[in-house]
Amino acid sequence: MPYSDKYWQKEEILPRRELEEIQLKRLKWVAKHAYENVPFYRKAFKEKGVHPDDIRTLDDVARLPFTNKNHLIENYPFGLFAVPKDEIVRIHTSSGTTGKPKVVGYTARDLENWINLCARCLYMVGIRKKDVFQNMVSYTLFTGGLGFHYAAERIGAMVVPSGTGNTKRQIQFMLDFGTTAIHCTPSYALHIKEVAESMNIDPSEIGLRIGCFGAEPWSESLRRKLEDSFGLKAYDSYGLSEMNGPGVAFECEEQNGLHIWIDHYLVEVVDPESGEVLSEGEKGELVLTPLTKEALPLIRYRTGDITYIMDDECSCGRTHPKIHRILGRTDDMLIVRGINIFPSQIEHVLMKIPEVGDSYQIVLTKRGALDEMTVRVEVKDEFFTGELADLERLKKKIENALREELGIRVNVELVEKGTLERFEGKAKRILDLRR
C-alpha cells in the first residue's frame, strides 16, 4: 500500500541525515557480506590493503576496490554470487549481443526490494490503480520487462505485457485497451509515432498521458518531440542490470534530473581516467554500490555512464539527490579530431530542426589521417521536395547547427523518410568505419 497520495514509501522523504545513517549501516553490511562470501572480493580487498572493519564513514568507500563489467564476465556465470545457488530465485542477464553476458542473480528479498524501487518510480510520475500500463520492452532475460511489470501490478494498474515488436498491433492494443501509460525506449516511441501516422492515426488521440523512456541516452529535444506528438508527459528512466535493472533513478513530475534512491545505492561520480572522486556538479562516470543486494553485492561498480550529481533541492519534496540525465557512455563517446562528442549532443540539435524526421545515423570514416563524420538525416516528406536548392539550404542549415554545438565541421547527408533502420530496443545510431 502507498505511504500517501504522493509518495509510495516513507523513505522517499526521510531527512538526508537519516538517509546517510541508513547508508553507512548498509555499506558496512555489504562490504562485510562481499568480503566473507565472494572470493573475488576477499582477494581484491586484501590487494587494496583494506578490511570491512575499516569502513567508519561514508567517505571510506573510496578506500574500496572498483568493480567493472569485465569482472562479471570473467566470473561468469555465478562467480560473484554471495549466496548459495539454492537461494537464487531468478537470474537475468545484460542485453549485450556479443560474448558472454553479465549474469545477475536475485534472492526473494532482492526481488521484493526491486519491485518496490520500481513502484516508487512509477508512482512518482503519477501512475495509479486506474491506469492501463503497456510494457513494450523485452520479457526475456533483459531486466526492463519484468521490473516495471511487477511494479505496475503492485500499484494496482492494469498491465499489458505486450513486449517488443509488431508495432501496428501495439497501437491497436493501445486503442482497444485504453492504454494511458507506456514503457519503451525513446527511439521505439518515435517509431510508434511514425507507424501510427502511416495508419492515419493521430498519435495525440491515442489517449496516452505518461511515457516512461529509458535504456538509451536521449535528449531534451527528443522529450519535447515525444510530448508534442503524443500529448503525454515523457519521463526519463535509469537503471542497469547489474543494479537489479530499472528503478535505480527516475524523474519526478518536475522533469529536472533523476532522483536516485540512496537508501539502496551509494552514489559516486569519478574521473573516467584516474578514478578520482569528483565533487558535486562535476561531470564524470557514475559509480554505484548497491547497499541491499544479497545475491550480487557489487562494490563500487563503474557503470560507464556519464552524468553529474545535482545539488538543488526538489520541489516534489523527495530528499534523495538527483543525477543529471545520462549524457552518454564512456564506451559510446566519439573522439573526432580530438574532440569528445556524445551522440545525444547530435540528437539534441537534430530534434530541434522542424524539417528533420525521426531517424538519423552517425557514420565515421577516415580521409587520410583525418577523421570524417557524416550524419545521415531523414527529412520529413513535406520538406523532401526534390528541389536541389531547397535541399542544399537545409543541408547547410543542419551542418551549421551541428558545427555550432560540436565545435567541428560535420558532413550532412539528407535521405528520404524510411531509409534508415528502425529499432524495437536500443537504437544503434553509430557506424564507425575508421578501423
- Across the chain, which has 435 residues, the per-10-residue mean pLDDT values are 92 98 98 98 98 98 97 96 98 73 96 98 98 94 93 98 94 98 94 95 98 90 95 97 96 97 98 95 97 98 96 93 92 80 88 91 87 92 83 93 90 92 81 85
Query: What nine digits make up the cell of 3?
Result: 505511504
User: Can you tell me which residue has the cell 560535420?
Assistant: 410
The whole-number pLDDT of residue 98 equals 52
| pLDDT reported for residue 95 | 61
- In the structure grid, which three cell numbers stand for residue 421, read together? 533502420
- Determine the pLDDT at residue 427: 81
d(CA 275, CA 272): 6
Which backbone phi and psi does 227 adopt, to 5 degrees? -65, -40
At residue 216, the pLDDT reads 84
Which domains, and CATH codes, for the chain?
1-331 (3.40.50.12780), 334-432 (3.30.300.30)
Query: Can you give the pTM of this predicted structure?
Result: 0.86
Predicted confidence at residue 290, as pLDDT, reads: 98
Distance, CA of 170 to chain centre: 22
d(CA 54, CA 245): 30
The enclosing H or E element of 27 equals: helix 16-37
Cβ atoms of 137 and 185 closer than 8 Å: yes
